[in-house]
Structure 1
Amino acid sequence: MTLDSPFLTEVEDFFDSCDLLTLPLSEPSKHDVNINSETSKSGVEQSSIGVCVRHRAYRKRRRVERERLGQEIEEFNKKLATEPRRLLSMSGWRMVMLCHLETRLASEARHRQLRSAIAAQTTLIRAYQSLTYDKLVNIESLERGGSRNYYHCDRLRLESFDSEFYRTSARTFNAVYFQTDTVFDAAGLDATDEHCGALTQEQRDESDNSYFQHTYKRKFPFDFAHACGMLKRTLSVHLREDQQLYDGIEDPGSIVAIKFRVSTRLKIGKDASVLLRVINRQYREDDRMVVVWRTFAEGEEGAFAGMHADELGWCVLSGDERSSVLRLYACYMPMNFMNEVVSDGAVLAKRFADMVVEASTSNCDEIAGSLEKFLLNDQKSHD
Structure 2
Amino acid sequence: NSTRTVSKAEPISAEKRREIRNAQAAQRRLRYRQKLKNEKETLQQQEIQLSQELTKLQQARVDEKNDQVDRMTLSVWKAIAIRQKERRVGAETQQRQLRAAVVARARFIHQMNALLQRPDSQVESCGDRSDSGEQHAGSALLRTFVGELDELYVQTDQIMEEVDFKVTYPLVYKPTRTCTQGVEIYDSADATVVPFDFEQTCRAMSVLMMTDPTQKKTRELKNTVTVKYQVKSQLKPGENFKLMVHVAVRRYREPDRMVFVWRGLNEGLGALSGYHTDETGWLVLRPHLTSTLLESYVRFVPVSVGEAGASNEGPDRFAEVVIKTGENEVSELMAMLENMLIGEAK
TM-score, with structure 2 as normaliser: 0.57
Matched, 1:290 2:255: no
Matched, 1:128 2:102: no
Matched, 1:226 2:200: yes
Aligned partners of 2:314 and 2:322: how far apart in 1? 12
Query: What per-residue deviation string (whole Å, max 9, x for no partner) do you get for residues 261-319 of structure 1?
Result: 1235789x98742101122110001110000011111122x211111111100000111
- Decide whether aligned partners of structure 1 residues 378 and 204 sit closer, same or farther in structure 2, where only a CA change above 3 A counts: same
Query: What per-residue deviation string (whole Å, max 9, x for no partner) do you get for residues 44-88 of structure 1?
Result: xxxxxxxxxxxxxxxxxxxxxxxxxxxxxxxxxxxxxxxxxxxxx
- The partner residue of 2:184 within 210, 213, 216 is 210
Q: Is the 8 A contact 1:244 1:258 kept in 2?
A: no
Aligned partners of 1:171 and 1:308: how far apart in 2? 20
CA apart distance, 1:253? 1.3
Matched, 1:175 2:151: yes
Tell me the residue number matched to 2:334.
Answer: 368
Letter in 2 for 1:215: A
Aligned partners of 1:286 and 1:328: how far apart in 2? 19
Letter in 2 for 1:333: V
Residue correspondence of structure 1 range 132-211 to structure 2 within 5 A: 132=84, 160-189=136-165, 197-198=171-172, 200-211=174-185
Q: Is the 8 A contact 1:313 1:330 kept in 2?
A: yes
Q: Is the 8 A contact 2:196 2:341 kept in 1?
A: yes
SS where residue 177 of structure 1 aligns?
Answer: helix
Query: What per-residue deviation string (whole Å, max 9, x for no partner) do you get for residues 200-244 of structure 1?
Result: 2433332222221123222122221221122212224472xxx35
Tell me the residue number matched to 2:318.
Answer: 352
Seq. identity, %? 25
- Decide whether aligned partners of structure 1 residues 287 and 164 sit closer, same or farther in structure 2, where only a CA change above 3 A counts: same
Q: Is the 8 A contact 1:309 1:334 kept in 2?
A: yes
Aligned partners of 1:233 and 1:137: how far apart in 2? 34
CA apart distance, 1:257? 1.9
Aligned partners of 2:306 and 2:254: how far apart in 1? 43
Letter in 1 for 2:254: E
Q: Is the 8 A contact 1:196 1:216 kept in 2?
A: no
Aligned partners of 2:79 and 2:262: how far apart in 1? 18
SS where residue 261 of structure 1 aligns?
Answer: strand
Tell me the residue number matched to 1:235.
Answer: 209
Structure 2, unaligned runs of 5 or more: 1-70, 100-131
Tell me the residue number matched to 1:100.
Answer: none
Tell me the residue number matched to 1:77.
Answer: none
- Decide whether aligned partners of structure 1 residues 204 and 280 sit closer, same or farther in structure 2, where only a CA change above 3 A counts: same
Aligned partners of 2:171 and 2:76: how far apart in 1? 33
Aligned partners of 1:188 and 1:295: how far apart in 2? 23
Tell me the residue number matched to 1:315.
Answer: 283
Q: Is the 8 A contact 1:274 1:299 kept in 2?
A: yes
Matched, 1:379 2:345: yes
RMSD: 4.2
SS where residue 286 of structure 2 aligns?
Answer: strand
Q: Is the 8 A contact 1:262 1:273 kept in 2?
A: yes
Aligned partners of 1:164 and 1:133: how far apart in 2? 9
Tell me the residue number matched to 2:15.
Answer: none
SS where residue 290 of structure 2 aligns?
Answer: coil
Tell me the residue number matched to 1:262.
Answer: 231
Letter in 1 for 2:183: N
Range that drifts further, 174-183 or 363-372 = 363-372
Aligned partners of 1:367 and 1:189: how far apart in 2? 19
TM-score, with structure 1 as normaliser: 0.52
SS where residue 317 of structure 1 aligns?
Answer: strand
Tell me the residue number matched to 2:31.
Answer: none
Aligned partners of 1:270 and 1:376: how far apart in 2? 36
Q: Is the 8 A contact 1:214 1:329 kept in 2?
A: yes
SS where residue 253 of structure 1 aligns?
Answer: coil
- Decide whether aligned partners of structure 1 residues 286 and 276 sit closer, same or farther in structure 2, where only a CA change above 3 A counts: same
SS where residue 201 of structure 2 aligns?
Answer: helix
Letter in 2 for 1:375: L
Query: What per-residue deviation string (whole Å, max 9, x for no partner) do you get for residues 117-161 of structure 1?
Result: x8xx9898546225347869999xxxxxxxx98xx89xx9x9554
Instruction: Give the number of aligned pairs.
Output: 239
SS where residue 205 of structure 1 aligns?
Answer: strand
- Decide whether aligned partners of structure 1 residues 133 and 172 sit closer, same or farther in structure 2, where only a CA change above 3 A counts: closer
Aligned partners of 1:214 and 1:194: how far apart in 2? 12
Aligned partners of 2:164 and 2:282: how far apart in 1? 14
- Decide whether aligned partners of structure 1 residues 131 and 187 sit closer, same or farther in structure 2, where only a CA change above 3 A counts: same
Structure 1, unaligned runs of 5 or more: 1-117, 140-147
CA apart distance, 1:341? 3.6
